[in-house]
Structure 1
Amino acid sequence: MSRSYEFDNHSQKALGSLNVTLSLLAPFALEFVQRGMLGGALVAILCGVVGTWVVIRGMAFLGEALAHGMLPGVALATVLGLPVLVGGALSAVAMSVGIGALQRRAKLSYDTSIGLLFVSMLALGVIIISHSGSFATDATAILFGDILAITSADLVLLAAAAAIGLAVTCGFHRSFVALALDTRIATVLGLRPRLAQAALVGLVTLAVVASYQAVGSMLVVGLLLAPAVAAGHWTTRIPTRMLLACLFGIVAVFLGLVTSWFAATAAGASVAAAAIALTCLSWVVRAAVAGIRSTTHATTAPVSA
């Protein structure tokens, strides 16, 4: 009798777990959610790879500046009825070129060049928006993204962006490593540090533009940095860190979409919040594991007479 009761109890628990799993996966039966998940996963892969170098090189300010530097191009493209991603891409590229020009011609520091252009591009975007009476309806999507509005054509562009990002990262891997260690080392080894730096800025620009549709200009840095930071808690090897960052990003997209569906929250903001939450959870778990290991080591260590 007791065995039958235990069997029924385990069966009910298993069915309950299955029902919970099915309910979580229910939104993904819809085609637009599937496209959002696939597009978000492609963005997570690109941001995981590029974001690893952003964290290693301390380029978070550049990512933030480029995200806001897209605003004039996005605003102008919206007003003129042109593709928004094209306008944002041209604006971000113009800002990247401008940063390099200010460094070389005006002899300004890297941070100063970014800061000046960041404010200038943001001000220009606000001016364009303020002169357009019909722009307010698109402001939310520009700032916070609309991942559930990703189309099949967007998926093709995102796949191409991810492929280009992976190819450039693989091709410049040795140069990026040398650049992270010391510019002089890269020069001595003939790895052309200026070209490597330009390629890295180009990768950040590509990641920011590609992430625009998913999380918007305000939240893109969260998806670019958080998964890479979370991955850094578990490994110091760059390829492994990139892989883990991609996985953390994909999980963040899944959790964000599920949260958005059941809690009726903004999808892009939910994805960014999930990425930050996973980073915090990763740090807590890593600290707990380190504490357990140190306690175990102290307990098992031989006691000297």
Structure 2
Amino acid sequence: MDYSRKISERLWNLPDKGELESRREETFIDDIIQKSHIEKELLSHLDGIRTVFDGGAGCGRFSILLAKHGCEVTHFDISQPMIDKARELAEKEGVLDRITFVKGALEHLEAFRDSSFDMVISFDAPVSYTYPNQEKVIAELVRICRKRIMISVSSRLGYLPYLANPIQKNQFILDPDCGDPFVKWCVANRADAIEAFRFHREAVGKLWEEGLMGGDEEIAEYERGGAPWCITYTFMPDELEGILKRNGVKNIELAGPGAYARTLPNELLVKMMKNPGQRSDFLDFCHRFDSNPFVCGMGKDNLLAQGEV
């Protein structure tokens, strides 16, 4: 389905995407938790890592982090506004000389040779936006990797609760008065979303069986000139592990960042985030809890997998 790539290109190339995405950790608590978890994992696996490919690197949250730790990073993204923002931030952090910026789609990695990079990473689910090519894309990411691969994809078990919770994002708003347009929308539409909600057993069952969010409606909106959310393939934990194993990845570990936090109300999450000591302790415990394989499927949005090549 070529529409998946075209819809992703249009969405992520909206002019404001770079700026909005760069502020997510100032806006939403679930993003803080997920990025903290990934950072802990990255920094604990840097021995012997010199070169890194960051696929779907966005505004450079991790490419800049790794460059600051001495890695040579290829920052690969489908969005020019994201790349422009990442370049701006990399220059500000003094690591512009350690990052190579490449615009492209994950469906097309043929320009990179086998085992080109010590580490290959792809976070915040860009692989899930490549449907129906998601398995081929994972295979390609493994192909260009020499030592360690670390990816996060959309979690099917993590997404299923969304179909019974139209206000799920409100739980993770850090500051309702921050001015972010999506935050404003979430706050303004909370009551209407609850009033209009009806549980649709068929929709939940369809996602459970097929794993696909979006399709015909998104294609129609795209054809009308709109920029809908990406068609998204959601993975089951054993499915993702199986794909990685078939491509030669060993010692696979799975995690579900956000599994612990999604059990807590917004008021308590905000209180902990605004207290530096509590915040640090909470993020450390989230990492420990969310790394337990028994909860890996219930991460907030993403299923994180890593292993050795």
- TM-score, scaled to structure 1: 0.27
Instruction: Point out the structure with max Rg over C-alpha.
Output: 1
- TM-score, scaled to structure 2: 0.26
Greater relative contact order structure (CA < 8 Å, 6+ sep): 1
Q: Which structure shows the bigger proportion of residues in helix conformation?
A: 1
Q: Which structure shows the bigger proportion of residues in strand conformation?
A: 2
